[in-house]
């Protein structure tokens, strides 16, 4: 009896141990449950900041990708393509063709950079996490990477650990911090000549350095499309990240680990301007944690060429967030700082509006999940649904005085509109719950853009 108890105990501990050990293959890596904080957070801020923030220019027309100002160097080197021609025309006129992209480093000074002020802006916006480009495709590191000697923000340019300083400031405000990291580097000679040595001696050491130095909550790779994940040794890195690293219990990663991995592997899937590999996927509920990313305008890196009409309005952005959350996603909204370290005021204004709305209505966003009983979402949809525990939230994105009819729920214990003091009339008819919108006036309207009804207890036993 005693002996068999010992054996049972040993077997159980081996099982328990092996469940928490991840092997360097996708099946094992994908079996890790995503730390809950990510899906609860819903809203994060992306930052694209690098040497491209110096010319800070891109066309405002063309395909989605052609507008990206952070692709400046790559476009310069491809003058024969339609987008390349536009960037070269701009560059040659403004700087002259003897100015090389690398020369921009002397104008990347970040002299107005105040990471505490940035962190406050992000917190006030209602964001729960921040993701900074530690290194974009240009290869310039925003932290003192010894693998990017004389091509990092401490050796040259700002002479400051931009990534470390932001990480500290963001955490002080109680937000989570993450890093974007480009696997490939367009013009790194080692990458171009010998990708295996590049991965072994440059890329993987940089990734581990970032993780051990700053202990990020999110690791957000990109620039993966040239090679399969095997070449990048992604599962090997992930096994280290999930088993060994100092962030193993709370880190989350995206799906950009190799040419075959998007929407297939990773803690959460990504869409970009509603696309995955050029395919529009907006409109679907994705049955895996996911995150949409986009700029407030058409670019990630700051684009001086954009005018007000190129920027989305606050109402658009709030509706966009609601749409993603109702479909089970997060929104990682991008901000493009200037080379001197400012967040353009118009971008601050959009964030402030989102924060004002979330302060009143955040209960229907944060910590919610998809309501499986929701009617489908299409272009004209103005009623969105989220759920949390036994409560259902009905979010109206277009003010309408007609009654709202909800099917497939039990009669709620109470219905209220977030931020509104008065009673909300509702009744049950033919098994449906019918809500009568209150008569809002400019004096009692809780917030502009969208209105959230909380139906307490409507999902009990569902």
Binding segment for ligand GLC (CB under 6 A), chosen from 67-75, 111-119, 229-237, 340-348, is: 67-75
Q: Is position 74 an interface residue for ligand GLC (rule: CB under 6 A)?
A: no
* Closest-CA residue to 224 (of 211, 238, 214, 241): 238
Sign of CA dihedral 298, 299, 300, 306: negative
Q: Would residue 430 be called left, alpha or beta, if left means φ above 0 and alpha means ψ between -120 and 50 degrees?
A: left
| Residues from 347 through 376 that contact ligand GLC (CB under 6 A) | none
Binding segment for ligand GLC (CB under 6 A), chosen from 64-72, 118-126, 189-197, 348-356, is: 64-72
CB of 179 to ligand GLC, least distance (A): 12
* Closest-CA residue to 329 (of 393, 270, 383): 270
| Residues from 232 through 291 that contact ligand GLC (CB under 6 A) | 272
CB of 69 to ligand GLC, least distance (A): 9
Looking at beta carbons only, is 90 or 220 nearer to ligand GLC? 220
CB of 182 to ligand GLC, least distance (A): 8
First to last CA, the chain: 45
Pick the binder of ligand GLC from 68, 72, 108, 320 (CB under 6 A).
Answer: 68
CA dihedral 151, 153, 158, 164 (to 10 degrees): 180
Strand bridging mode 218-222 / 252-253: parallel
Looking at beta carbons only, is 331 or 450 nearer to ligand GLC? 331
Binding segment for ligand GLC (CB under 6 A), chosen from 66-74, 105-113, 211-219, 303-311, is: 66-74
Tokens 């401490």, residue located: 154
Residue pair 382/399 in contact (Cβ under 8 Å)? The answer is no
Copy the structure tokens of residue 214.
């700053």
| Residues from 417 through 446 that contact ligand GLC (CB under 6 A) | none
Binding segment for ligand GLC (CB under 6 A), chosen from 65-73, 79-87, 346-354, 445-453, is: 65-73
Residue pair 205/193 in contact (Cβ under 8 Å)? The answer is no
CB of 36 to ligand GLC, least distance (A): 24
Beta bridge pairs of residue 388 = 391
Copy the structure tokens of residue 129.
């996490």
CB of 249 to ligand GLC, least distance (A): 26
Distances (CA, A) of 72 to 62, 151, 311, 364: 15, 17, 20, 40
Residue pair 311/64 in contact (Cβ under 8 Å)? The answer is no
Q: Is position 53 an interface residue for ligand GLC (rule: CB under 6 A)?
A: no
| Residues from 194 through 233 that contact ligand GLC (CB under 6 A) | 222
Q: Is position 70 an interface residue for ligand GLC (rule: CB under 6 A)?
A: yes
Looking at beta carbons only, is 68 or 179 nearer to ligand GLC? 68
Q: Is position 300 an interface residue for ligand GLC (rule: CB under 6 A)?
A: yes
**Which distant-in-sequence residues (6+ apart) come within 8 Å of 386 by Cβ?**
325, 326, 364, 365, 368, 369, 370, 371, 392, 393, 395
CB of 351 to ligand GLC, least distance (A): 18
Looking at beta carbons only, is 53 or 397 nearer to ligand GLC? 53
Q: Is position 293 an interface residue for ligand GLC (rule: CB under 6 A)?
A: yes
Q: Is position 87 an interface residue for ligand GLC (rule: CB under 6 A)?
A: no
CB of 300 to ligand GLC, least distance (A): 5
CB of 23 to ligand GLC, least distance (A): 29
Residue 184 burial by Cβ neighbours in a 10 Å radius (0-12, 13-18, 19+): buried
Looking at beta carbons only, is 70 or 267 nearer to ligand GLC? 70
* Closest-CA residue to 410 (of 391, 394, 395, 396): 391
Looking at beta carbons only, is 106 or 192 nearer to ligand GLC? 192
Beta bridge pairs of residue 369 = 387
Give me the residue whose beta carbon is nearest to ligand GLC. Answer: 272
Give the footprint of ligand GLC on this chain (CB under 6 A).
Answer: 68, 70-71, 222, 272, 293, 300
């Amino acid at each position: 009896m005693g002996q068999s108890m010992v054996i049972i105990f040993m077997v159980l501990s081996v099982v328990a141990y092996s469940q928490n050990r991840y092997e360097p293959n996708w099946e094992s890596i994908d079996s890790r449950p995503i730390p809950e904080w990510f899906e609860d957070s819903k809203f994060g801020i992306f930052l694209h900041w690098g040497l491209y923030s110096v010319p800070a220019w891109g066309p405002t027309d063309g395909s989605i990708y052609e507008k990206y100002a952070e692709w400046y160097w790559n476009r310069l080197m491809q003058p024969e393509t339609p987008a390349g021609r536009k960037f070269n025309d701009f560059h040659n006129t403004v700087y002259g063709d003897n100015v090389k992209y690398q020369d921009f480093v002397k104008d990347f000074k970040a002299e107005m950079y105040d990471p505490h002020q940035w962190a406050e802006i992000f917190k006030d916006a209602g964001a729960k996490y921040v993701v900074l480009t530690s290194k974009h495709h240009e290869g310039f590191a925003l932290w003192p990477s010894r693998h990017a000697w004389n091509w990092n923000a401490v050796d040259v340019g700002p002479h400051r650990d931009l990534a470390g300083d932001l990480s500290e400031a963001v955490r002080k405000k109680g937000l989570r911090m993450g890093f974007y990291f480009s696997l490939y580097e367009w013009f790194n000679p080692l990458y171009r000549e010998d990708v295996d040595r590049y991965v072994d001696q440059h890329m993987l050491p940089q990734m581990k350095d970032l993780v051990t130095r700053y202990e990020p909550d999110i690791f957000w790779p990109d620039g993966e499309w040239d090679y399969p994940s095997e070449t990048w040794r992604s599962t090997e890195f992930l096994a280290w990240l999930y088993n060994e690293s100092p962030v193993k219990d709370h880190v989350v990663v995206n799906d950009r680990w190799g040419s075959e991995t998007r929407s297939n592997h990773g803690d959460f899937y990504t869409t970009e301007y509603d696309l995955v590999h050029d395919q529009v996927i907006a409109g679907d509920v994705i049955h895996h944690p996911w995150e949409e990313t986009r700029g407030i305008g058409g670019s990630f890196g700051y684009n001086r060429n954009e005018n007000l009409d190129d920027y989305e309005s606050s109402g658009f952005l709030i509706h966009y967030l609601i749409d993603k959350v109702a479909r089970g996603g997060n929104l990682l909204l991008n901000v493009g700082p200037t080379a001197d370290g400012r967040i353009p005021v118009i971008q601050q204004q959009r964030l402030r509006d989102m924060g004002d709305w979330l302060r009143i209505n955040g209960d229907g966003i944060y910590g919610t999940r998809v309501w499986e009983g929701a009617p489908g979402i299409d272009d004209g949809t103005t009623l969105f649904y989220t759920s949390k525990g036994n409560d259902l939230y009905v979010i109206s994105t277009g003010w309408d005085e007609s009654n709202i009819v909800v099917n497939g729920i039990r009669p709620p214990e109470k219905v209220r509109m977030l931020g509104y003091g008065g009673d909300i009339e509702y009744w049950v008819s033919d098994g449906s719950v019918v809500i009568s919108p209150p008569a809002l006036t400019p004096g009692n309207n809780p917030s502009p853009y969208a209105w959230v009804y909380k139906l307490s207890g409507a999902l009990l036993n569902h």
